[in-house]
Amino acid sequence: MLGLSYFRQQQLTQALKEFLQAVESDPQNADYQNALAQAYQFKKAYPEAEKHYLDAVNFSGNSPEYQNNLAALYLDMQRWDDAIKYFRQAAANLLFGNPEIALTGIGFAYFQKGEYPDAVGAYQEAIKKNARYPVAHLRLGEVYYELDKWELAIESFRKAVELVPTYLDAHYKLGLAYMKNRQNEEAKQAFAEVVRLAPISELAKQAKAYIELLK
């Protein structure tokens, strides 16, 4: 499908045109509806994306992949309860190959609602499904950080960077957690890793400032 080629090359306007033509030629094709929805989402045309994700879900007979995509859109739209609803449907479907992704989405929605125990529960369930999914460990660490549980936050962030040594956000948040736990040398090491991995990034700029602060 030509639109996918444009999509991968970030030529979103051209991809959108191709997907619109595809949907016009075969409006009940769930794959086309999903692709068009993704193009709209990338262009932040959220109402249009929602319409086509819903069509994709309906025409596919409630595909868990498309339910997960719709739920992710609702995260972008900050419609937390709608996100939880569709992530739950995706996670409960035995045909969905990555339930840990949907469960992590549920946790993030609860986190945004300030419902931290439910967020922790969802993240822990995600980790039970796939202990090697680094995002779940990162997100769990974020909840513990908000709850001032520094050692648990450190444990979660460390697990994330063990799984993905180049995980920039995890190194940075690990540094913050070490600072809160008064482990300044470890914090400097974590921040130094951020600078090493992405020296001209915004996170590196902030990490350098913390390193100076900790001297």
The answer to whether position 210 is within a domain reads yes
Give 26's DSSP letter.
-
CATH number assigned to the domain comprising residue 176: 1.25.40.10
Percent of the chain with pLDDT over 90: 86
In a domain, 189, yes or no: yes
**pTM higher than the cut 0.75:** yes
In a domain, 11, yes or no: no
Token digits for 156? 């979660």
* Closest listed residue to residue 103, CA positions, set 72, 73, 58, 79: 72
- In which domain, by residue range, is 169 found? 132-215
Is position 16 within any domain?
no
3 pLDDT higher than 50:
no
Mean pLDDT over 70-74 rounds to 98
Residue 13 lies in a domain: no
Burial code (b: 16+ CB inside 10 Å, e: under 16) for 157-177 equals bbbbbebbeebbbbbbbbbbb
Distance CA 134, CA 68 (A): 18
Q: Report pLDDT for 17.
A: 80
Which two tokens mark 45?
């045309």
Overall number of domains in the chain: 1
- Domain contains 160: yes
10 domain residue, yes or no: no
